[in-house]
Amino acid sequence: MRRVTVVFGTRPEAIKMCPLVNELKKREGIDVNVVVTGQHRQMLDQILNTFGVVPDYDLDIMKDEQTLFDITASVLEKMKDLLKDLAPDIVLVHGDTTTAFATALSCYYLQIPVGHVEAGLRTHDIYAPYPEEFNRQVLGIISKYHFAPTEAAKTNLISEGKSPDNIWVTGNTIVDAMRYTVKDEYSHPDLEWASDSKMILITAHRRENLGSPMHSMFRAIRRVLDEHKDVKAIYPVHMNPEVRKAAFEEFEGCENIRLIEPLNVVDFNNFESRCYLCITDSGGVQEECVSLGKPVLVMRSVTERGEGISAGTMKLVGSDEEKIYESLTELLDDASKYSKMLNVSDCYGDGHASERIADILTQG
Ligand code: UD1
Ligand code: UDP
């Protein structure tokens, strides 16, 4: 029996790891347990409920306005004894969060093998995104098994000297999740409200965008909304108090936007599949929009998910107010530019990544 411990702590990790947990639970020869750090609380619990995953251990570390020091120190401290007790054959972590980084570091200290899901994404700038690019690179060094979502991610790992024997291209498990969440029949009061308009879906939360860049981003969107009364925007606001303050300040009195609480992923994915376009600084939202063929403007200077740009569905617009204003206006006013971005692509996966990862773990 192979003892596999799956660790995650934030909303996006949960969305991308729950399909894998549920797949692993079906497999004979694998004894899986789930540890959540609770780096996110409400936003994590929403996802656990949706996928019916009940953690075996919950480190419950979240603090209001937590710093990177807080998260790293709490995870390291609490993982030490738990991992010693569990003594797993392998620990699976995901992506690039501080939960993943500090868990992998704990495993390294205890010499427990790590499997990295969504391995090999790179911008090669450790401040963009911050601290995620650093986390990914360190995870690449520590991990024994690299589950790369795309060929480009595999190429990145090979160029860093990782052995091809330890890299598997599996697709991204986010597409597995969407097979479960996106429905033909779906309705929601906020979608009804926006049904007579072009609907823009907004998210924002990146640490490097907090403060002045985020205000610029929101001001640009506000200007566009003020000039386009035929457009309605829905913005489920991230729970970070700094994000909320900026959002509520900049959109105050704006009648064609609804600022709402974070949506359950079933709702959010169905909003994505029905929106006119999405504007975001999120990683996962890029993958989802491209998979759904929805134009997505990315408020970042670089992306580690360049496949969507090659597919034509995604465009980088940075955090500069004028650039965002111009790009968003163009996409709303120029039908031919808009229709060129309507490309559905399976560049991030075919919806069977969890099965592939489970096959590899069952065999290995
Ligand atoms: C974290 C990850 C980021 C990921 C993002 C997904 C790190 C360093 N950052 O960033 O890579 O893209 O999650 O959303 O790992 N909060 C709540 N309830 C929640 C979640 C957050 O109140 O359920 C508030 C808390 O005040 C918390 C703050 O949001 O202190 C920030 O959370 P944190 O996990 O530190 O950073 P994120 O920006 O969410
Ligand atoms: N998401 C959600 N509810 C929301 C906004 C986003 O469930 O209100 C989901 C979205 O479908 C995607 C994931 O959250 O799968 C992206 O997470 P986030 O943007 O917080 O983090 P990132 O992907 O940037 O790490």
- Shared domain for 26 and 130, answered yes or no, is yes
Q: Do 217 and 115 reside in the same domain of the chain?
A: no
198 and 332 together in one domain:
yes
What's the longest Cα–Cα distance across the chain? 62
Task: Please work out whether the CB of residue 9 comes within 6 Å of at least one atom of ligand 2.
Answer: no
Which CATH number fits the domain that encloses residue 157?
3.40.50.2000
Note whether 119 and 243 are same-domain residues: no
Q: Does one domain contain both 149 and 274?
A: no
- Its pTM stands at 0.98
Instruction: Please indicate, yes or no, if residue 121 is contained in any of the structural domains.
Output: yes
Question: Would 178 be classed as within a structural domain?
Answer: no
Residue found under tokens 């091809």: 164
Q: Locate all alpha helices (DSSP H) within the chain, ordered by sequence.
A: 11-26, 42-51, 68-86, 98-110, 132-142, 151-159, 173-181, 189-194, 212-227, 241-250, 265-274, 284-292, 307-311, 321-333, 335-340, 353-363
> Tell me, what's the pLDDT at 345?
97
Tell me which residue range forms the domain holding 199.
Answer: 189-340
Amino acid at 240: N
Mutate to test the pocket of ligand 1, among 8, 10, 41 (most ligand atoms within 8 A of CB): 10
The structure tokens 């399909």 sit at 19
- Kindly state whether residue 28 falls inside one of the protein's structural domains: yes
156 in a domain, yes or no? yes
266 in any annotated domain:
yes
**Residues 164 and 17 both lie in one domain:** yes
Q: Which ligand is nearest to the CA of 206?
A: 1
pLDDT one digit per residue (tens) for the chain, 364 residues: 999 999 999 999 999 999 999 999 999 999 999 999 999 999 999 999 999 999 999 999 999 989 999 999 999 999 999 999 999 999 999 999 999 999 999 999 999 999 999 999 999 999 999 999 999 999 999 999 999 999 999 999 999 999 999 999 999 999 999 999 999 999 999 999 999 999 999 999 999 999 999 999 999 999 999 999 999 999 999 999 999 999 999 999 999 999 999 999 999 999 999 999 999 999 999 999 999 999 999 999 999 999 999 999 999 999 999 999 999 999 999 999 999 999 999 999 999 999 999 999 998 6
Establish whether residue 282 lines the binding site of ligand 2, counting it when its CB lies within 6 angstroms of any ligand atom. Answer: yes
How far is residue 25's CA from residue 266's CA, in Å, rounded to a whole number?
Answer: 22
Same domain for 246 and 354, yes or no, is no
Mutate to test the pocket of ligand 1, among 8, 240, 261, 286 (most ligand atoms within 8 A of CB): 240
Q: Number of folded domains in the chain?
A: 2
CA-wise closest residue to 69 among 102, 94, 44, 93: 102
> Which ligand 1 atom is the nearest neighbour of the CA of 41?
23
Give the residue among 173, 127, 167, 176 at the shortest CA–CA distance from 148: 167
What is the rounded CA–CA span in Å between residue 47 and residue 52?
8
Q: What share of the chain is helix, strand, coil (3-state, %, to 5)?
A: 50, 15, 35
Q: Taking a C-beta distance cutoff of 8 angstroms, is the pair 317, 327 a contact?
A: yes
Residue 312, in any domain of the structure = yes
- The answer to whether the CB of 64 is under 6 A from ligand 1 is yes
User: Do 257 and 166 share a structural domain?
Assistant: no
Does the CB atom of residue 131 touch ligand 1 within 6 A? yes
Centre of ligand 1 to C-alpha 235, Å, is 17
Alpha-carbon span 54 to 52, nearest angstrom: 6
The protein residue with its alpha carbon nearest to ligand 1, atom 4, reads: 97
* Straight-line distance from the first to the last Cα atom of the chain, in angstroms, rounded to the nearest whole number: 11
> 158 and 11, same structural domain?
yes
Same domain, 158 and 227: no
Helix (H, G, I), strand (E, B) or coil at 163: coil
In a domain, 181, yes or no: no
Same domain, 74 and 195: no
* For the CA of 282, the nearest ligand: 2
Whole-number Å distance between alpha carbons of 80 and 241: 30
